[in-house]
Structure 1
């Protein structure tokens, strides 16, 4: 069983819609996964920022302890205590961002370690350093010996070394947390890259399948509709010219096939009608010739009135029978014409139905184009969001470059400070230690900034890949929209062809109406002719009483015969226009 036109077109559009829906689902799924991973990456970056700040505060504690030991200034201790407090606060903030229980335990251990460090620093290091500087001042006042001062100095330095080691331990723990988050960032970026590659592969595959289906539909559907419609148009043109020798060859079982079958039935009925009219016109012509012969014989045989009357009576009787036969044939022809008119009306209704279905298909194509436009807008919006992410990554890169520049300048300042301390000799040794620590801190800041810059560069590269993938998706959606628009144009052409078929059916219907009117005229003429025959028979029966009227009766019969012959010739000419 062959498919209907609506089923064929509907199946094609369903296939295209399935492909487009699959592409949209893949795009939405990929975007949702990318959004989730970007949110996780954002949370990890927040933790990294806190951990970097905690590492900076730990480095500040080391620098402050060295400064306090070198100069004995209480401001260094206050700064170290503030840094320890900041580390504890930032650790609390970090715990809020952590979901892993083990990681939270590590942060709790770090907080405890920082608090213990702060308490030991206040209870042990600070008194020892202050005692050392108090002994130094007492030595200048000759209150303490050099051995006492040296012992205090060694104690202070020993404690400073111990606290420096503990601070380094805190710093290492913080860096361990940062390293774990950096690994998470790397894994998230890799997952984003894999998801993007997978989405590109899926979208490319589905787009290729959709393209192949669209190309096949654009080739198969027009070809399946063009040939049958062309056959219908050629058949209608032949029938309109009176050529009824050929039928329309359409093998399809759809609406076009039904129209072709209806036109073939119409051709058969028309052919039968023309043959019947031709046969009846020949009978009428022969009857008219016979009537003329009888009239001539009656005129020439005026002396044998009885024989002429008998011949005329017989001729009149034959004439009435012939007229009745012709009238029956014409009545059947009129009935056939009315039936063919009804069938032509049914064909016109089928054409209107086909036009309506073509219009519905065109509207469906327009709705599909609008849906494709909405999908294109969604993909473009997603591309804009990813591009904005790339812009923000560039801004972060600029900030990291600024941090790196500041670290370089700090390194130069530390070098200058070391040079000045060397010039100062013994009195500048403590300042030299501080300068060295500042230089190390600057180098560490520069390294951290470079690492962050590397991460940002990776994110920017992946963002550019995502933007490129979005551009490819947008192009595929536009290609799908163009295919659907082409289908809509095909529906417009179908509707135009169906309208042409409807016009041909209307012309055929008008022809049948004219044929019915001609049949009515023939019936009227036959009735008139039958009346004339009846009159002739009556005159023949009364000829014995009115012989003078014989000549007039013969003239009337001759005139009617000539008219009948003329009418038969005209009918033959009208019928001969048809080729059967």
Structure 2
């Protein structure tokens, strides 16, 4: 077949694409049918059936509540029954609103209208029975069990007819869903089988007409890469890309044969040139080795001289800088030593004054310890006195208690004496009141004494702590005085050593001036040696460059 690969591939995959589109469109159509039927079941039939069931239940409950109103024995029972009837009627009205919101049409709307036509007279008859029950309960009960029951049954039959219609509608919609699913299943399966058959045919066709020829050409290319030209080339007469590749391979084979012949001739010529170049190269390498060895020796010598000169110059510069730095440092050290000497003298004077102040502080601390001891003794005496007062108050409290007891006994005896003991009873009552006042006063005094004892105890503890603290201060001031004396002696020794250090730094400063002069002379000599080494290195590099240029020109020739 002379068609190109592009039309072949487009034909194969285009057929598969068309089958895929057909399957997709068929699936979408069937899914739409199923979705419409399911939506009808979900939004119309099932809600309608559910609401109708509620309507039937509320109608039955309304009938029961109405019967209770008709047979109520008194107004209270009738009122409770009317409340229940009103609730069931309201629930039924809410269910009717939900059914109206569904929006039924056709036969369902006609059945619903019939129900509404029966419901109005039915509820009116129950209202009339309520009015009749107020006058004649037996007549109302008879009406409830007679004509109203017949009306109730007709209303329920209308609701049942409407529910039966909705159940049939739901069953029909469900049958539509089932049939749509069955049709979709068989249609998709059939189209899928056709797609599989077309895919298998396309794969076999492409394998026979394209893939096998490409695999054979790949094997020929591998033989051509190994310079094997003895193969038979097929497919050059094809009009597609496979034929183009076969003809291109034939051209490559001819070109590679010519290239191999030309490469053999060039290899022979190159071998002759290589032999001559090897001889010239051997002579050049010998000359290059000799000259390089000589120049390397000169370069190493000049390099060593250059490094020595640089090292000597650095040492001289470092020595000069160090000498200047040491001289400056020694002068600064001399000035600092003089300053330290003056400061040491001032420190000695300050330490003496501190010693005198510490002695005064020790004397004051000793006096404070004695005063704290006396104060503690006074507070202890106050505590003892408070304890004695507490004992006296306790005695007074005992006396008041005994007095109160005697007054109580006197009151009892006066009561026994009758009229003769009234005056004695008044006195006993006054004595008892006085004893109670005395007891309350002694309790207040006891509380104040206990508070005073607690305060004096705390004061005694605080004064004792103050005495201990002052004693510690006395000990510390004594220690400080001893340390100040030792520091004064050390300060005098420091002043003497500082004076000797000042004399030594002056001598070091004078000696460093001579070292600086010697370092400057050494730096001058090192600079001259460095210049000579640089000149020798430049001449050696120039000679090496000229020799390298000569050898390069010789190799190129």
TM-score by length of 1: 0.40
Which structure has the larger Rg over C-alpha atoms?
A: 2
